[in-house]
Amino acid sequence: LYHVLLTEMYSSVLKRGWLSLGCCGATSRAIHLSSAALLNKTVLYDFHVNNGGKMVPYAGYSMPVSYDKVGVAASHKHVRSACGLFDVSHMLQTRVHGPDRHKFLESLTVADVTALKPDTGCLTLFTNEDGGIIDDLIVTSTSQDYLYVVSNAGCRAKDLALLQQQVKRFTDSGSKVELEVRDCDALIALQGPQAAAVLQAACSEELSSLMFMSSVQCSVAGVEGCRVTRCGYTGEDGFEISIPNDKAVSVCEALLSSKTAEVQPAGLAARDSLRLEAGLCLYGNDITEQTTPVQAALAWTIAKTRRTEGAFPGSKVILRELKQKAAVRRVGLVSSGPPARPPSQVVDQDGKLLGQVCSGCPSPSLGINVAMAYLPLSHVKAGTTVSIRVRDKLVPATVTKMPFIKSNYYTGK
């Protein structure tokens, strides 16, 4: 399960030449790291080390891939059954201010930002003029008159450049919008079926009325000014909590010492297998600037009004694919035997190349192998049989619907 070190979590790192990785059996090691001093550290770095975190480079940061006392599979299962705590402070947090803030983000994404009710958000996509996905992000319209945006650490430089360039265009044209980068805040994710009970014991707000993709500013473990958003990357109920940097460690320690349920720190390896079971995309592997929302099975992120009006980057390409269908689509695959890793080839019954695996791992929850791949429309129907070439052997696989496990997002029902 240290597959995360091979391809899944570090594709963006590998592409930038920061790290090369090797694997032998169940262990992986980092090689060719030019200088550890070049890595950024989140404010929780010492917290991870003190709790037995095995630190590895990811997206320019030193992050915990796992913890000494808990194996990756056990950590994964603990999140599914109880509660896990992740550090996601490497993610880019920004705020967009000004009366034209909704129009501003709609000029870059496929979302209907204007329609968002106060303190609710949505998953959306930055797209380019060719319809490709620049990044996936969460936009929340707050009741404090700003938009709160969380985007990927591996895309930080290009996302910031995109946002700053668009701010200049808007202000040059007389529109009023300002961008605030929130490097002063840490970000953690509390995930699992016991997450709500754990957080409720430490939170000043009633969480039963906070639905999936809703957000509130409140105090957590006595720390004022935290933003709690009911969302996450595991398919379980959970929360992302933005905390002032100087209070992040104390909040994490309070959550870990919860008497409500056992909370364990969790690393990148468990986060990766959890998100794959939930059918969620990893930027750089499953979605890139060469994949469109329609191809990626993310057409549901394109708001109804945007489908009618267009006027977002790549809208001509994307709206045409919505009407005429894209040539390929992201699908789920299940198999047994040796697990498929990217970029394993997917072939038909005659050995003809269909595509390649973009994510894959053994599923700790299901006891089988799960993967995702882009396949032609002739092979995307659930139940279709294909083969995956794993170490020069053909492994039978079956196309299946995603998510691979039932999602448990909280909707109040």
Binding positions for substrate are 240
Query: Could you tell me if residue 119 is left (phi over 0), alpha (psi between -120 and 50 degrees) or otherwise beta?
Result: left
Return the residue matching tokens 């390929």. 328
Sheet holding 178-181, edge to edge: 120-127, 133-141, 147-151, 92-97, 178-181
Query: Apex CA 173: angle with CA 157 and CA 309, to 5°?
Result: 80
The pair of structure tokens assigned to 17 is 């030449």
Distances (CA, A) of 201 to 24, 98, 300: 43, 35, 35
Please report the DSSP string for 238-304 in residue order: EEEEEEEGGGHHHHHHHHHT-SSS--EE--HHHHHHHHHHTT---BTTTB-TTS-TTTTT-GGGS-H
27, with CB counted inside 10 A (0-12, 13-18, 19+), is: exposed
Cis, bond preceding 343 (omega within 30 deg of 0): yes
Neighbours of 270 (CB within 10 A): 32
Residue 354 corresponds to which tokens in the numbers above? Answer: 């269909």
Burial of 70 (0-12, 13-18, 19+ CB in 10 A): buried
**Binding-site residue positions:** 240
Q: How many CB atoms lie within 10 A of CB 26?
A: 10
Cis-peptide into 244, omega within 30 deg: no
Amino acid symbol at 93: Q
- Backbone φ and ψ for 269, nearest 5 degrees, come out as -65, -45
Residues 6 or more apart in contact with residue 99 via CB below 8 angstroms: 176
Within a 10 A sphere around the Cβ of 152, how many other Cβ atoms? Answer: 19
